[in-house]
Structures are given as C-alpha cells and as structure tokens.
Amino acid sequence: MASSVMSTSKTAPPAVSAVGLRKAYGDRTVLDGIDLRVPAGSVFALLGPNGAGKTTAVRILSTLIAADGGQAQVAGHNIATAPDGVRAAIGVTGQFSAVDGLITGEENMLLMADLHHLSRREGRRVTAELLERFDLAEAAKKPASTYSGGMKRRLDIAMTLVGDPRILFLDEPTTGLDPRSRHTMWQIVRRLVAGGVTVFLTTQYLDEADELADRIAVLNDGRIVAEGTAEELKRLVPGGHVRLRFSDPDAYRSAATALHDATRDDEALALRIPSDGSQRELRSVLDRLDSAGVEADELAVHTPDLDDVFFALTGGADVPHQTEENVR
C-alpha cells in the first residue's frame, strides 16, 4: 500500500468513496459489493473485461441510476441523498456519445453553457475557447451527426468541460477510436489532470490504465479483485518466463525432458520456463538445450506486464492456458 496516498487521504476528503455498492438486474448481479476510494486530484482506472460492471459503477456514481445497496460519496455529497450536489461537481462522458446530433457542435456547446447558467457572453467565450482547444473550430457550424467518431468524442468531452467539473467520469473514453484519436484523448486527460481535475476512468485496455492512472482497480464479475498502482499489480503475478517453440515433435520431447521445470504446451510444441529474463538464466536454459542436443525454432523472453495480471485475476475465456498454469 502506498503510504503517501493514505496520508493525503486523511487530510483531504477523497473525491470518490464507495462502500459495498451493489446492483442487480433481476437475478443477474452486476456489482457485488465494491469499495472504492479515489483521492482528489488523482487518476483512477477501473479496469475490467466487457460485462464486468464498469459502466454500471460509473452510472451509479454519476447519479444516473440508483444502487441497490451500499453507499457512496462523490465530491463530499451522498449520491442517494444529495444527487444535485454530486451533479454540480461532476462531468460525465460515456462510451456512447452524449451529443445532440441534430444540432451543430457550437449549438451543443451553447446548450451546455445555458444549462450551466452562464451569461450569454461567458457562454460564447467558453464555447469558442473549448472548440479551439479540441480542434473543432472548423467543424463548429456543422451538425454533430456528421462528425467522425474521434470528433464526436472530443465534442463530448468539450461539452462536459463547459461546467468546469472538479471530478470527471470517463467511461471507456477511447473504445472504438483509432490509434491517433486515442493518443489525442490521452493528452486531453493528462492536461486535465495537470489542471487539478480528478479523473475516474473505466477501460478494458491495460496500456491505457498503465499510461494514465495513478491507481488501478481490477473489476471482474462485479467484484474488485485487485487494487493498487500499476507496479504493485505487476508484482502480484510472477509472469516472467522464456518461451521456446519447436516445429519438430521429437526435438520438443527431448527438450521437455531436459528442461523438466518447464510448463508444456503439447499442442503448440512450446515450453515455458520461469525466468527473470537475465543473461545468466538465459544462458543456463540454452546450455541445457545444447547438452540435450536440441535446438529451438523460436525463443522469446517475456517480462510480466499488466496483461498477465489481467488474465490471472479475471480468468476469462481468452486466457492463454500456459499463462494461467504459470501463475497458479
């Protein structure tokens, strides 16, 4: 546990805190009692596969839907008893664009300015500034329905920022975006954080969480299965290994005999040997292969990354089974 985080959270109230949040639709439990604590000014990522309950968590914390159990405070307001206090402090951008496609980008922005009760002049100023900042000034007079996916997402965030929110919920902000728009979105998030905004984001991309978040919680099947910094999470799984692949079944069998500590993948004719990837360990593996008189067709060194953590913790259907065995 990062002690610095604990001590700051004692002095400043957390931006988001939740205890035992539960939500079920019929007999399908979507959130099975989750606890969260997001210090003000930090970036928090809720990471999980599709259907883990990420969007439901955001919808509850942003007061869109009510929880069945548990309680949560956002910006110091209880989401159930003081939703308007929460709403005044937050901005939400979902994975499905929340723009009005029938009107222009500029009209969308002015609509937000009116709903935040800005004066006409102030509304125009903020609109022009944000459209410029998000590279939408040129398309400002076109209907939002004609925008590309990346432009819609930028307009979506720009609209959210009209109210100058202190806490920003981003539900899968880069899902469906091309790599370029994705990096633009990351830059936008970093700039917002530099300006003191607390960001609560959900993602199914490990690199995104690794890239942006101070702390990551892994959500699977409605439960938080791990929480910590990217480094802390990586330390949870001993994922480092050397992978050897063979095309000749005989060579594969003799190698497997020589390297008895290896995990076998008989279908792929591949062996995994736990290793920290150091030169010394690599040499010993190669020496043992040499003395057995076999040669591998392919050798790869694998250091643990968030993927290992993710697969180990969420145990989805697309887990490469050798990873699973290795971890267990």
Q: For other proteins, which residue of 52, 73, 87, 273 counts as binding (CB under 8 A)?
A: 87
Site map 110..149 versus other proteins, x via CB under 8 A: -x--xxxx-------------------------x------
Cα–Cα distance between 274 and 271 in angstroms, integer? 10
Asked if 54 is part of the footprint of other proteins (rule: CB under 8 A), the reply reads no
Q: Which is nearer to other proteins, 160 or 275 (CB)?
A: 160
Beta bridge partner(s), residue 216: 45, 228
Beta bridge partner(s), residue 198: 167
Span of 40-48, 62-70, 181-189, 277-285 interacting with other proteins by CB under 8 A: 62-70
Using DSSP's 3-state secondary structure scheme, residue 22 falls into strand
* Amino acid at the residue 30: V
Residues in the interface with other proteins (CB under 8 A) total 29
Asked if 88 is part of the footprint of other proteins (rule: CB under 8 A), the reply reads yes
Q: For other proteins, which residue of 35, 37, 76, 107 counts as binding (CB under 8 A)?
A: 107
Span of 109-117, 133-141, 200-208, 290-298 interacting with other proteins by CB under 8 A: 109-117
Residues 237, 242, 246, 251, CA torsion sign: negative
The encoded tokens of residue 11 equal 């002095």
Q: Please, which of residues 280-299 interact with other proteins by CB under 8 A?
A: none
Asked if 163 is part of the footprint of other proteins (rule: CB under 8 A), the reply reads yes
Site map 172..211 versus other proteins, x via CB under 8 A: ----------------------------------------
**For 242-265, what is the HEC assignment?**
EEEECCCHHHHHHHHHHCCCCEEE
Q: Which is nearer to other proteins, 19 or 103 (CB)?
A: 103
Asked if 172 and 95 touch (Cβ cutoff 8 Å), the reply is: yes
Asked if 63 is part of the footprint of other proteins (rule: CB under 8 A), the reply reads yes
Contacts of 174 (CB under 8 A, 6+ apart): 153, 181, 182, 185, 186, 203, 205, 208
DSSP codes joined into one string, 33-53: EEEEEE-TT-EEEEE--TTSS
Q: For other proteins, which residue of 101, 149, 277, 293 counts as binding (CB under 8 A)?
A: 101
| CA neighbor of 303 nearest in space, from 207, 227, 235 | 235
Q: Which is nearer to other proteins, 79 or 242 (CB)?
A: 79
CA angle 175, 176, 178 (to 5 degrees): 110
Cα–Cα distance between 312 and 326 in angstroms, integer? 9
Span of 157-165, 244-252, 271-279, 280-288 interacting with other proteins by CB under 8 A: 157-165
> Which residues here bind other proteins, judged by CB under 8 A?
62-66, 84, 87-88, 90, 92, 94, 96-103, 107, 111, 114-117, 143, 159-160, 163
